[in-house]
Structures are given as structure tokens and as C-alpha cells.
Amino acid sequence: AQKVTQAQTEISVVEKEDVTLDCVYETRDTTYYLFWYKQPPSGELVFLIRRNSFDEQNEISGRYSWNFQKSTSSFNFTITASHVVDSAVYFCALSEPSNDYKLSFGAGTTVTVRA
Amino acid sequence: EAGVAQSPRYKIIEKRQSVAFWCNPISGHATLYWYQQILGQGPKLLIQFQNNGVVDDSQLPKDRFSAERLKGVDSTLKIQPAKLEDSAVYLCASSLFREGLKNIQYFGAGTRLSVL
């Protein structure tokens, strides 16, 4: 069974628009970690954020913000006022003790920001 | 601080040939991972090392894939013989620890393998 679901395969926006990427996860562990990574065309996965399950405070970092909703098992990611350089594939991932903390990745969402 | 280094960046081989990938993790990182990423999918873990010992290789096709991490630093991943379905990007990652608050994995740029 898929532990992390990213329902949006592709999103295309015009520069300066906001983009929200959905991530829904599934776990029976009470303690777990959620991650977002960015994969630009160069191929490297760039770490963006890690969220602990016991910390439900939402986070903002510049134009990036994350909305963690434990009640709906979601960890959504918003890019505000998108730039062309935000074009990439974004992956959500789950790390659980019951899975020996291995990362379970979603299928990714491809974001294209047009000038 | 230097990131995870991988080489080569690209490799094209014919099926049944062998190939090797090299990874140098971030200095001081005890845990090293190899992932396979097929086009359009998320990365899939192949093998995980803690220092120079294998922690998990349950997803490694051991009839053709092998990996080692000598002296607990650099690592090599080998495929012999390669099949068409091995065409993918092979990513190496490292983290300070496997669990807890220092379990963030940092990735290299990957090696893109094409098997013809």
C-alpha cells in the first residue's frame, strides 16, 4: 500500500501565482517524520523541511510554507509568488520507526512555472 | 560544507555489461543510502549502510547488484550484468544518524544510467 500519496501529477502556473502541493500519508506509528524535497532538472534532491509528528505548528520559510494537519494526515506545501526557478519535481516523504526510519517517497508533483 | 559527491553523472552501456557508481558522503555521516529512481517515480531504497555494515539490503537485486562501503566512508554500487530495466537514476544519500532528530538525508546529484 502506498504510504505517501501526492495526487497531483503536474501543476503549471504563471510566475507570481501561488502553488499548493498536496501530500497525504498513512502510518500507524504515533511518532514519525515528514519531509519535502525538491528535485530540479539537475537531478539532485534538495532537502526543504522535516516535520516531527509531535509538532503541529505550521512553518514559513521565505516564500515557502507548510501546513501540517494530523487530523487529516496531510502535510501540504505552498509556494507563494512562484518564480521560474521553482520549476522542479517536489517529493513528500514519510519516515517511521516501524519501517526502521526508511524514507517512503510519494510519486512526486512536477511544478512548471511559466514566465 | 561539501555535499554528497557522486560519479559518473551519466553512463550509457549495453545490456549484459557491468557498471559501477561511486559515492562520497558528507564528512562525518555514519549512514549511507543508495536509491534507484525510475523516470516518473519517487526514489526507491536499494541498500542502507551504517558505517561499513549493511543495515538493510532487502530491496537490492542481489543476483546482479552489489554494494560495499569500505572503511565506512566511500561506497560503490555495481551492476553485473545490466538489464534494460536497470535504466534509472541512481542516487546516493547520507545522514548523521538513521533515526531521531539527525536523520535528515542529504542527496547527491545522482548517476543517470541508460542500458541499451
Q: Which residue has the higher pLDDT, A102 or B12?
A: B12
Is the separation of the CB atoms in B72 and B65 below 8 Å? no
Q: Tell me the pLDDT band of B1, cut-offs 50, 70 and 90.
A: low
Per-residue pLDDT, A29? 94
Residue A67 grid cell: 501546513
Task: Read off the pLDDT of each residue in B44-49 and give the average, rounded to a whole number.
Answer: 95
Backbone angles phi, psi at A36, to 5 degrees: -125, 135
Per-residue pLDDT, B100? 67
Q: Which residue has the higher pLDDT, A101 or B66?
A: B66
Instruction: List, for residues A20-46, the tens digit of each pLDDT value.
Output: 999 999 999 999 999 999 999 988 999
Per-residue pLDDT, B90? 98
Q: Is the pLDDT of residue B102 over 80?
A: no
Instruction: List, for residues B78-91, the tens digit of each pLDDT value.
Output: 999 999 999 999 99
Q: Which chain B positions have a beta carbon within 8 Å of A25's beta carbon?
A: none
The 3-class SS string of A19-84 reads EEECCEECCCCCCCEEEEEEECCCCCCEEEEEEECCCCCCEEECCEEEEEEHHHCEEEEEECCCCH
Q: How far is B83 from chain A (nearest CA, A)?
A: 22
Q: Search chain B and give the residue with CA nearest A106.
A: B42
